[in-house]
Amino acid sequence: MPTPNLNALQFLQSRRSRPAKTLGTPVPDRAALQPLLTAAARTPDHGKLEPWRFIVIEAPAMARLADVVQQRGEALGLAPEQIAKGRTQFDQGQLAVVVVEVQKPSEKIPPIEQSYSAGAVCLSLLNAALASGWGANWLSGWPSHDRGFMVDALGLAEHESIAGIIHIGTETSAPPERPRPNVQEITTWLSD
């Protein structure tokens, strides 16, 4: 019989993201963020390619990124409401980690597996932050998918993209619980 880690299992079964708009200060400093990034980097990575990296956005950089979102939204002809929604996470943010997907050439590891690994890093970072007592939220939104934002705001290369933006801070209010999937309805068992 395996030896269970019941505390870890309980955490995973009850974990809950905290809306970015409810995250305030204090936020983890660089020393407190390091173990979270270390935990996130211990993610499934077929072929040991490390097809991801981190960009930490500290509070002073948030206003600049919000302005880039504004400029990109206007250049794309987006509606003012859509632009405002896109910049909100930067207007309100105090600390965030961009998980950058870095596609690497490989004969063995297809691009989709590298994308999955980058997504796993996002979830691992989110869970590491929550397990450490911080509030955290994984966001994306149209700026995360806009090549101009990726280049202008973050200096990403052509083979890089944003897998997710993980906001981390002190929770100021707890959201209500939401309905969860019925596991019995979404599970198929194959016995032969």
- Bind-site residues: 15-17, 42, 46, 138-140
- Bind-site residues for FMN: 15-17, 42, 46, 138-140
CA atoms within a 13 Å half-sphere pointing along the CA-CB vector of 8: 5
What's residue 115's pLDDT?
97
* Helix (H) or strand (E) run with residue 136 in it: strand 135-139
What's residue 155's pLDDT?
97
Give the Cβ contact number of residue 61 at 10 Å. Answer: 17
CA distance 81 to 187: 39
Instruction: State the 10-residue block means of pLDDT for the chain, 192 residues long.
Output: 93 90 95 98 93 97 97 97 96 97 96 97 98 96 97 97 98 86 94 91
Q: Topology of 19-167 in CATH?
A: NADH Oxidase (3.40.109)
Q: List the chain domain ranges.
A: 19-167
What's residue 65's pLDDT?
97
What's residue 176's pLDDT?
82
Cα separations (Å) of 37 from 60, 81, 91, 111?
20, 33, 24, 23
Residue type, 148: G
User: Pairing relation of β-strands 160-171 and 95-102?
Assistant: antiparallel
CA distance 74 to 146: 13
What's residue 182's pLDDT?
93
0.85 surpassed by pTM: yes
What's residue 41's pLDDT?
97
CA atoms within a 13 Å half-sphere pointing along the CA-CB vector of 74: 5
